[in-house]
């Protein structure tokens, strides 16, 4: 990933009142669908890096139109970067290859923008949030990895054993076609990524998942005992029941609450859970969806990150 090209989308042009400029950087000159990132630069030399991971099926360009966190970040003097990993929109984020690619991205961006000795923050939406937490668990327990000063995730699935059983139930019982199609795809993807099903080998799920309810040792999540972490979720159960035939067991809110509660029991006083109501909308379509970037208050999140 040493050879890269930079496409200056707005060189010298102010994209906002804060003098923000935007760069598209390809780490593989032969591939424009993966291994690239979209960087939003403040007017002055950045004071730190905020790396953002998108949801499954979402490109950096789409994510940048669904949220305004990059505006809040550059206003505060941070370089905000949306990344597309090795499999582009199909990256699973928590697998070993995605995690290795993410490390290379961080090192490359820190070097490219002279941020090696500056604060580094990490966040993501949905599966991207899962990947952010998985990376932080490694960074806080191993040497040689850039350590984020603080992390956040928007409605991430964290316990993939719980997710597997939820998907099984949806396939059997849901009457909503979009929910059944989604469940059918992801249960097959989980079988591929974990090379097992939890009924036969839940150990694989305990090891790879950022959090595991059935792991009595809490080996994964306890690595974040000293990591400032903010999780946001919007548990609109009425919408979920009416639009997706889902119960509370099917919501990522369950994982988020378990993670924050567990970390607080471990003594982490910087573990924060934010629950919202009526904030979830997809900006590009204008449609209601509690599982959206929009549930996050960008200004408040940036201030929280900088305060850690």
pTM: 0.94
3-state helix, strand, coil in the chain (%, to 5): 40, 15, 40
Of 208, 242, 273, the last residue of a domain is: 208
Query: What's the CA gap between 86 and 100, in Å, rounded?
Result: 10
- For residue 214, is it within any domain? no
- Counting the structural domains of the chain, the total is 2
Enclosing domain of residue 110: 5-157+226-306
φ/ψ (deg, to 5) at 5: -125, 155
Local structure of residue 146 (DSSP, 8 states): P
Q: 258-270 burial, b if ≥16 CB within 10 A, otherwise e?
A: bbbebbeeeebeb
Pair (199, 295) in one structural domain: no
**pLDDT at position 5 over 50:** no
Summarised one tens digit per residue, pLDDT across range 255-285 is 999 999 999 999 999 999 999 999 999 999 9
- pLDDT given for residue 30 in this prediction: 85
- For residue 215, is it within any domain? no
Burial class (CB in 10 A: 0-12, 13-18, 19+), 225: middle
Pair (136, 166) in one structural domain: no
Please, where are the H alpha helices in 174-251? Answer: 177-194, 203-208, 237-244
- pLDDT given for residue 19 in this prediction: 62
Pair (264, 282) in one structural domain: yes
**pLDDT at position 12 over 80:** no
Quote the crossing angle between the two packed helices 177-194 and 160-173, to the nearest 10°. 140
Summarised one tens digit per residue, pLDDT across range 132-188 is 999 999 999 999 999 999 999 999 999 999 999 999 999 999 999 999 999 999 999
Give the CATH number of the domain where residue 259 resides: 3.40.50.1820
- For residue 219, is it within any domain? no
Mean pLDDT over each residue of the chain, to the nearest integer = 93
3-state secondary structure of 217: coil
Neighbours of 61 (CB within 10 A): 12
For residues 35-44, give the mean pLDDT: 96
**pLDDT at position 16 over 70:** no
- For residue 218, is it within any domain? no
């Amino acid at each position: 990933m040493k050879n890269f090209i930079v496409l200056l989308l707005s060189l010298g042009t102010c994209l906002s009142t804060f003098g923000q400029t935007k760069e598209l950087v390809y780490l593989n000159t032969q591939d424009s669908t993966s291994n690239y990132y979209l960087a939003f630069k403040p007017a002055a030399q950045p004071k730190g890096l905020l790396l953002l991971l998108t949801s499954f099926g979402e490109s950096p360009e789409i994510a940048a139109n669904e949220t305004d966190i990059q505006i809040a970040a550059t206003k505060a003097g941070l370089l905000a970067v949306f990344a597309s990993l090795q499999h582009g929109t199909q990256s699973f984020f928590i697998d070993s290859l995605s995690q290795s690619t993410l490390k290379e991205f961080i090192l490359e961006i820190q070097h490219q923008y002279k941020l090696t000795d500056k604060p580094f923050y990490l966040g993501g939406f949905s599966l991207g949030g899962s990947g952010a937490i998985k990376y932080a668990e490694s960074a806080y327990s191993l040497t040689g990895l850039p350590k984020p000063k603080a992390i956040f995730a928007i409605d991430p699935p964290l316990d993939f054993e719980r997710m597997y059983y939820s998907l099984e139930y949806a396939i059997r019982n849901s009457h909503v076609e979009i929910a059944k199609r989604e469940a059918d795809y992801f249960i097959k993807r989980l079988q591929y990524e974990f090379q097992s099903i939890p009924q036969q080998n839940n150990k694989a799920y305990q090891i790879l998942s950022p959090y595991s309810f059935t792991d009595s040792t809490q080996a994964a999540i306890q690595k974040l005992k000293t990591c400032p972490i903010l999780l946001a979720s919007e548990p609109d159960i009425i919408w979920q029941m009416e639009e997706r035939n889902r119960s509370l067991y099917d919501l990522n809110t369950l994982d988020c609450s378990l993670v924050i509660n567990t970390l607080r029991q471990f003594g982490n006083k910087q573990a924060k859970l934010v629950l919202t109501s009526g904030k979830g909308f997809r900006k590009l379509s204008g449609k209601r969806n509690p599982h959206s970037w929009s549930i996050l208050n960008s200004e408040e999140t940036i201030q929280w990150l900088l305060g850690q």
